[in-house]
């Protein structure tokens, strides 16, 4: 996963995630936590001696829901 520099202190950062196209479980997990599929990067990454396609997902700071602390020590809601 890559976290490119934020474009400012306003929560508008961007996370990127690359998943191999055959990896349905990772794709489903990425989407379930809020990543959005952007497209296929053809021959993007060298794995061993072979170049592989990757599916690019991203999440922007503006995509994140307002999160509330949960669990022990979270304090009053």
Q: How far does Cα 25 stand from its chain's mean position? A: 14
pLDDT tens digits, 50-65: 999 999 999 998 887 6
List the structure tokens of 55.
């599916």
pLDDT of residue 69 exceeding 50: yes
pLDDT tens digits, 21-41: 999 999 999 999 999 999 999
* pTM metric for this prediction: 0.69
Neighbours of 59 (CB within 10 A): 19
61 contacts 13 by C-beta, under 8 angstroms: yes
């Amino acid at each position: 996963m890559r976290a490119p520099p934020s474009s400012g202190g306003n929560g508008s950062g961007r996370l990127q995630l690359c998943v191999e196209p055959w990896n349905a479980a990772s794709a489903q997990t990425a989407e379930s936590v809020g990543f959005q599929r952007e497209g296929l990067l053809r021959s993007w990454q060298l794995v061993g001696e072979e170049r592989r396609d990757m599916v690019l997902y991203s999440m922007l700071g503006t995509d994140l829901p307002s999160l509330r602390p949960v669990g022990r020590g979270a304090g009053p809601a």
